[in-house]
Amino acid sequence: MFLNFINYFRGFAILLIVIGHLFGTVKVFNYDNPYLNTIFTKSIFSLISGGTSLFVFISGFLFHHVFYSRGFNFKKFLINKLKNVLSPYLVLMTPLVIYQLLYVPRYQKLHSSTGEFLKYLFLSLYSGTMLLSTWYIPFAFLLFLSSPLFIKFINSHKSILIYKGFDIVIFQKFFMCLYLVLFFNKFEIYFSKSCKKIFDILAEYSFPIFFLHNYVIQFIYPAIGFEKESGYIGLILLTVLTLLLSIAFAFIIKKIFKKNSRYIIGG
């Protein structure tokens, strides 16, 4: 059964991810000296940054709702993730990593032989740290590979982990996820048609946006001198522009490659 409130939640999650990655571009948050930021800015930054954790929650929810409920088949599940997650990750990341290692001075220094080049190519793809949000893909794939353990955990009704620490951020994101699920589930009937349409589009293009907004922020904006202090108004405007550009690029790729576009941009 298709769940509208989860679809809207996914659209909202990608919105937060894009906003969180634009803080540095518009210089709203002082990364060099965080203590100079106002309490308001610190609060907003804390709530919005780490938006990828919402994707983790949604993935877990849908794993149970879709794959577990229908009868879990690990082979089919993994093949699906190889095609729709790992393939676009490698297609979009590999050329970038090769370019960085060959032409960017600080990365050129890392290798002096073919063997070292291949080593850093592998490590870069393994870590996913060349772009802002792609660290999540290697992490997600570890979760996919661990899915049989999650199935055993669900069936056993026992605790899979023993908690021995306290992390405010984890609790913040956990309760934020619960709040947003309840919010979208309770109030989706009151959303206007235009509001629903916006969330539907964001949700439909969420995975392509997840990949493509990195290129917009890290390469297009610096190339045209778009990184400047512009405050919260600039943050809002640049968020809209980034989403529109990412969706436009995804739309063009979809038109060119049709169904095969999911192997390139994940949707």
Give the least confident one: 3-7, 136-140, 144-148, 218-222. 218-222
Average pLDDT over residues 228-235: 82
User: What's the confidence (pLDDT) of residue 30?
Assistant: 83
pLDDT confidence of 160, banded at 50, 70, 90? low
Q: Under a CB-based contact definition with an 8 Å cutoff, are residues 128 and 93 in contact?
A: yes
User: What's the confidence (pLDDT) of residue 164?
Assistant: 60
Nearest alpha carbon to residue 132 among 237, 245, 248, 24: 24
Percent of the chain with pLDDT over 90: 31
User: What's the confidence (pLDDT) of residue 158?
Assistant: 64
pLDDT confidence of 86, banded at 50, 70, 90? very high
pLDDT confidence of 32, banded at 50, 70, 90? confident
What is the pTM for the complete model shown?
A: 0.84
**Is it the case that residue 246 has pLDDT exceeding 60?**
yes
Nearest alpha carbon to residue 207 among 29, 30, 14, 48: 14
Q: What is the pLDDT of residues 51-83, one digit of tens each?
A: 888 988 898 888 888 888 888 889 999 998 999
Average of per-residue pLDDT values in the chain: 86
Percent of the chain with pLDDT over 70: 94
Average pLDDT over residues 203-223: 90
Nearest alpha carbon to residue 14 among 59, 55, 43: 55
User: What's the confidence (pLDDT) of residue 248?
Assistant: 96
pLDDT confidence of 205, banded at 50, 70, 90? very high
- Stronger pLDDT, 75 or 132, i.e. the higher one: 75
Average pLDDT over residues 195-212: 93
Residues across the chain? 267
Q: What is the pLDDT of residues 106-126, one digit of tens each?
A: 788 777 788 888 888 888 888
Q: What is the DSSP string of 39-82?
A: HHHHHHHHHHTTTHHHHHHHHHHHIIIIIITT---HHHHHHHHI
Query: Which of 20-29, 58-67, 255-264: highest mean pLDDT?
Result: 255-264
User: What's the confidence (pLDDT) of residue 165?
Assistant: 62
Q: How far apart are CA 55 and CA 45, in angstroms?
A: 18
Q: How far apart are CA 24 and CA 30, in angstroms?
A: 8
Q: Under a CB-based contact definition with an 8 Å cutoff, are residues 267 and 87 in contact?
A: no
Q: Under a CB-based contact definition with an 8 Å cutoff, are residues 198 and 11 in contact?
A: yes
